[in-house]
A and B are shown apart, each in its own frame.
Chain A
Amino acid sequence: MAMRDLVTGGAACAVPGSSSSSNPFGALANAILGSTMKAQDLKGLPESGVTVPTASLDLRPEAQFATIPGSEYENQLYQHADSQSSEFLRGFRSASHGSFEDAWGEVHRPPILPRAGVREIEGQFSEFEQIYDGGVNSNIHQIWDGPPQRVLSSYLHYFVNSDRDRTGFRPTALPALGLSESDKRCIRDRSCIMARHIFADKNEQYINEQVSSFLHCLDIDNNHLIRGPMQGPYAELEEYWNNSQTVLRPTAPHPADSWISEFSQQRANGDPEAWAHSFEKQHGANGWVSEFGQEQAQLLSAGQLGGSNLSSIAAMEQTRMLAHTLAQNNDPKFQNSKFLQFVSKMSRGELIVDDNQIKPATETISGDWANEFHMQYDKKPLEEHFSGELFHGANTWVDEFSKQHQQEEVDDQWVTEFSKLHVQDWAEEFGQQVAEGTFGESTTDRWADAYDDYLDEQLAAKPKSSASRGVYVFSDMNPYVGHANPLKVGQELFRKGLLSEAVLALEAEVLKNPDNAEGWRLLGITHAENDDDQQAIASMMRAQEVDPTNLEVLLALGVSYTNELEQAEALRYLYKWLQNHPKYKPLASPEQSTSLFHADIARLFNEAAQMSPEDADVHIVLGVMYNVSREYDKAIQSFETALKLKPHDYSLWNKLGATQANSVHSEDAILAYQQALDLKPNYVRAWANMGISYANQGLYQESVRYYVRALAMNPKADNAWQYLKISLRFASRTDMLEACDSRNLDLLQKEFPL
């Protein structure tokens, strides 16, 4: 019991990097039982329960420096117990900038895995054994003289072990130790926290008494120094923690969880000590030794993580702080919200947000750690390890050290990078405002609800294949694959306006004939009409590879890039259109191809338009170009001119409408879209644009119908889903949000017929 408690103390209190290396007791204990403290935390620090022994990703910049691997060894190789006792004190002090919240935060931070010296172990082993093996009485009522540090150290050990002693802690007269105020405060804060672990099975009053008498002996005034609530609000946290454990537990039990349960089992049996014993039996004393080696490897990988996974680490830190602040809000509703659970999970790295999608972290570091840990113990016979490690230890260390030093550069970058993010700002702000009560209850709820919604949506939605830009994503199931002439079928379907079917047929075609420019082109056109510019661009790029001078392809690319607001790309393709046009080619001077100013291109196209005012295409290109430069009036003029020449071009009507809509002439736009839809009833893009125009006029109820119509024809139109959701909120039809999230088109169509 005391063992574990000390551990708890060790991990919760230890300053990363200082106590772990220098206080062998803490280090060993931390290493051996680091995981078990989770169970303890359930009692004391519910929210923090997850001191998953992830490789140490201490996220604070200063901590990075504090833990620059190996640095702390430089001066203390082969130091002796005396100085180490003072290290113990130092750990005690430096970890405790006060309140329980800090401890909470620290526990939250993955514990720094002890890299304590293999070398140190030997020397300290006996001390450890003594304390561990119930030698409480043997070495506790002892030397209350000697150097102050040693006295203090022994005294602290005594206190920490006092629960094994049936009689509890007995006040002892100590020589004057000459503690400074800050030392005192540290000791007081730490002991308050530790006492709750040590006497976890006792009541509050008992704990307070113990702490008081402990502090009294050290001549520390318990009463006036006590700060902050130690118990009250955290009941809620505990509840929340329990909830989250039952509700959100991943299907595969966390390896660490099994430790917890094992631990609590033992605890329930009334013999907590047994756990430690069984541990020792299983793994043997040498287990500890090998574990240290293991953890050094871990550190390395942690370093790598620091370099490569900056964003996720930053996110983790951000959420950690957020969770921390939020946890202090006492509203039980809030505490139980999935939002907080979610943020907590994020902060512990159990969930990661990747590309705006939430995923469970598949390989948690702690999992790895636990696995390897087991492997180690299964494999290594004691003797071999003991002798081997001990003597090679020093060498490995040197290697280790130099390796770590190479990594420093990465770390530095990371630190700079990270400090730029100023994560603190917001969390602080948040805390402050929560404290001030700036938030009404409703806003807090709203905030939480937003998350709940989003989370539900994310968990419900199938993880999408990461469609990176410019890469065409084929459908999974395609009935047209193997068809004799899918191009012909695709063209037919396209003509009939069955766009989503046409996509499948055309995909089958380009799978069969990847060099069929026409297949790719028509696929691109179909996607554009189906309101999917990403796929349209991807298809058109392939078409352009095969047939670099196809004017339709070049224009389509110009249009799609305009829609995606990629001005430079759009202009490039529009200019290429001019360069490759048999009639207007001479206008384009070849050397101009790279650095183009919009004004120059506009001039060229205007010249072209003057050359042949009867060519609708020139006016179309001009119209697109004026869209790029957001000169909407000119763009509208150009499209209107083109429409006089080509009144049956439905896509041209849509272009006119979209231009009018973007220049806030939504009423006109709706008329233009109507023309387009009269010509092509299944024109998904025009339906979606209709919805946008209604929404932008504040006619949300109307807009919903159009979005739903568009989606019924192409459920893959992601934009429309997003917009539909917004409109549903504005139209006070939040009751239908669920149908929207679950993409229940039948229900939506029934509810919002057109």
Chain B
Amino acid sequence: MAGSGSSLKSAALLEQMKSHLTTDAGKELVKKTGLVYQLNIAPKQKMGVDEEIYVVDLKEGKVTQGAYKGKPDASFSFKDDDFLAIATGKMNPQIAFIRGAMKIKGSLSAAQKFTPDIFPKPSKL
């Protein structure tokens, strides 16, 4: 596919995130957050299977593919759909955790700032 090699639904959102971080609102977000998140996103049924790894770097204002070089402030594992639900505010991240739909590693205060608020919202055709 022309846009990127990923077939994840989340990839669309992350791509939007990438360009969002270049805007004023995005820069504001970077200034406010200053944390690095690593997302391990599994395409389909199971967490941890065929994960694609993205880094949402809210320190540098970047979204990159592949594991973070160094220690991210927090890393998360979820399924494609669940990540999307979290990022768009359909699912509360804490509830996601409690349901076992999201795994968290790393600093908890960093993890708590991982909310739908940091993601740009996709518009609909």
Decide if A and B are genuine partners.
yes
User: Which residues on A are within 8 Å of B, measured CB to CB?
Assistant: 311, 314-315, 318-319, 322, 343, 346, 353, 356, 420-423, 425-426, 429-430, 433, 438-440, 443, 446-447, 450-451, 454, 531, 533, 559, 562-568, 598-599, 602, 624, 627, 629-631, 654-655, 657-659, 661-664, 666, 669, 685, 688-689, 692-693, 695-698, 718-719, 722-723, 725-726, 729-730
Q: Mark B93-122, 1 if CB is under 8 A from A, else 0.
A: 011011110011111110010001100111
Query: B121 touching A343 by the CB < 8 A rule?
Result: no
Most chain-A Cβ atoms within 10 A of its Cβ — which of B92, B99, B103, B116? B99
Pick from A319, A356, A430, A697: contact of B25, CB below 8 A.
A697
CB-based nearest A residue for B100: A314
Pick from A429, A692, A698, A730: contact of B123, CB below 8 A.
A692
Query: B2 — which chain A residues lie within 8 A by C-beta?
Result: 598-599, 602, 629-631
Please provide the 5 A-B residue pairs with the shortest distance between their CB atoms, ordered closest to farther: A630-B3, A722-B89, A698-B25, A565-B9, A658-B123
C-alpha gap A236/B57 in the complex (Å): 40
19 A-B residue pairs with Cβ-Cβ distance under 8 Å, sorted by A, are A314-B100, A356-B92, A429-B105, A429-B106, A430-B108, A450-B112, A565-B9, A565-B13, A598-B2, A629-B1, A658-B125, A659-B123, A692-B121, A692-B123, A695-B121, A696-B120, A697-B24, A722-B89, A722-B90
Query: A693 — which chain B residues lie within 8 A by C-beta?
Result: 123
Using A433-B108, A689-B124, A726-B89 as known contacts, say yes or no to A311 and B100 having CB atoms under 8 A apart.
Answer: yes
Query: B117 — which chain A residues lie within 8 A by C-beta?
Result: 726, 729-730
Query: B124 touching A658 by the CB < 8 A rule?
Result: yes
C-alpha gap A662/B48 in the complex (Å): 29
Query: A602 — which chain B residues lie within 8 A by C-beta?
Result: 2
Query: A624 touching B125 by the CB < 8 A rule?
Result: yes
Interfacial residues of chain B within 1-52, with CB under 8 A of chain A in the complex: 1-4, 7, 9, 12-13, 15-16, 19-20, 22-25, 28, 47-48
Using A454-B92, A563-B125, A718-B90 as known contacts, say yes or no to A631 and B3 having CB atoms under 8 A apart.
Answer: yes
C-alpha gap A629/B6 in the complex (Å): 10
C-alpha gap A658/B125 in the complex (Å): 5
Query: B90 touching A629 by the CB < 8 A rule?
Result: no
Chain A: minimal CB distance from B86 (Å)? 10
Chain B: minimal CB distance from A299 (Å)? 24
Query: B53 — which chain A residues lie within 8 A by C-beta?
Result: none
Query: A659 touching B120 by the CB < 8 A rule?
Result: no
Using A568-B7, A696-B20, A698-B25 as known contacts, say yes or no to A318 and B107 having CB atoms under 8 A apart.
Answer: no
Query: B99 — which chain A residues lie within 8 A by C-beta?
Result: 311, 315, 353, 356
Given contacts A311-B99, A698-B24, 5 further A-B contacts (CB under 8 A): A322-B98, A426-B104, A430-B108, A666-B23, A719-B90
B58 at interface, CB cutoff 8 A? no
CB-based nearest A residue for B121: A692
Using A314-B100, A723-B89 as known contacts, say yes or no to A429 and B108 having CB atoms under 8 A apart.
Answer: yes
Query: A627 touching B125 by the CB < 8 A rule?
Result: yes
Q: Count B interface residues, CB 8 Å.
A: 48
Query: B98 touching A565 by the CB < 8 A rule?
Result: no
B88 at interface, CB cutoff 8 A? yes
Query: B15 touching A630 by the CB < 8 A rule?
Result: yes
CB-based nearest A residue for B93: A450
Query: B9 touching A426 by the CB < 8 A rule?
Result: no
B84 at interface, CB cutoff 8 A? yes
Query: B123 touching A661 by the CB < 8 A rule?
Result: yes
Query: A664 touching B90 by the CB < 8 A rule?
Result: no
Using A425-B103, A447-B112 as known contacts, say yes or no to A657 and B123 having CB atoms under 8 A apart.
Answer: yes
Using A447-B94, A447-B112 as known contacts, say yes or no to A630 and B12 having CB atoms under 8 A apart.
Answer: yes
Query: A315 — which chain B residues lie within 8 A by C-beta?
Result: 98-100
Chain B: minimal CB distance from A138 (Å)? 52
Chain A: minimal CB distance from B95 (Å)? 6
Chain B: minimal CB distance from A495 (Å)? 22
Query: B97 touching A726 by the CB < 8 A rule?
Result: no
C-alpha gap A401/B109 in the complex (Å): 49
Query: B124 touching A685 by the CB < 8 A rule?
Result: yes
Most chain-B Cβ atoms within 10 A of its Cβ — which of A426, A658, A692, A718? A426
C-alpha gap A55/B7 in the complex (Å): 43
Query: B89 — which chain A residues lie within 8 A by C-beta?
Result: 722-723, 725-726
Query: A599 — which chain B residues lie within 8 A by C-beta?
Result: 2
Chain B: minimal CB distance from A623 (Å)? 8
Chain A: minimal CB distance from B19 (Å)? 4
Chain A: minimal CB distance from B73 (Å)? 12
Query: B15 — which chain A residues lie within 8 A by C-beta?
Result: 630
Query: B88 touching A722 by the CB < 8 A rule?
Result: yes
Query: B12 — which chain A residues lie within 8 A by C-beta?
Result: 565, 630
Query: B100 touching A346 by the CB < 8 A rule?
Result: no
Query: B97 — which chain A residues lie within 8 A by C-beta?
Result: 318, 426
Query: A563 — which chain B residues lie within 8 A by C-beta?
Result: 122, 124-125
Query: B116 — which chain A residues lie within 8 A by C-beta?
Result: 722, 726
C-alpha gap A141/B20 in the complex (Å): 80
Query: B104 — which chain A residues lie within 8 A by C-beta?
Result: 425-426, 429
Query: A726 — which chain B residues lie within 8 A by C-beta?
Result: 89, 116-117
Query: A562 — which chain B residues lie within 8 A by C-beta?
Result: 125
Chain A: minimal CB distance from B92 (Å)? 5
Chain A: minimal CB distance from B33 (Å)? 13
Query: A664 touching B19 by the CB < 8 A rule?
Result: yes
Query: B98 — which chain A residues lie within 8 A by C-beta?
Result: 315, 318-319, 322, 343, 346, 353
C-alpha gap A666/B123 in the complex (Å): 10
C-alpha gap A420/B51 in the complex (Å): 14
C-alpha gap A438/B47 in the complex (Å): 28
Query: B125 — which chain A residues lie within 8 A by C-beta?
Result: 559, 562-563, 624, 627, 654-655, 658-659
Query: A423 — which chain B residues lie within 8 A by C-beta?
Result: 100
CB-based nearest A residue for B80: A565
CB-based nearest B residue for A310: B100
Query: A422 touching B123 by the CB < 8 A rule?
Result: no
Query: A655 — which chain B residues lie within 8 A by C-beta?
Result: 125
Chain A: minimal CB distance from B82 (Å)? 10
Pick from B47, B109, B120: contact of A439, CB below 8 A.
B109
C-alpha gap A576/B120 in the complex (Å): 32
C-alpha gap A184/B65 in the complex (Å): 55
Using A563-B125, A662-B122, A693-B123 as known contacts, say yes or no to A443 and B7 having CB atoms under 8 A apart.
Answer: no
Query: A567 — which chain B residues lie within 8 A by C-beta?
Result: 1, 7, 9
Using A669-B123, A692-B123 as known contacts, say yes or no to A438 and B107 having CB atoms under 8 A apart.
Answer: yes
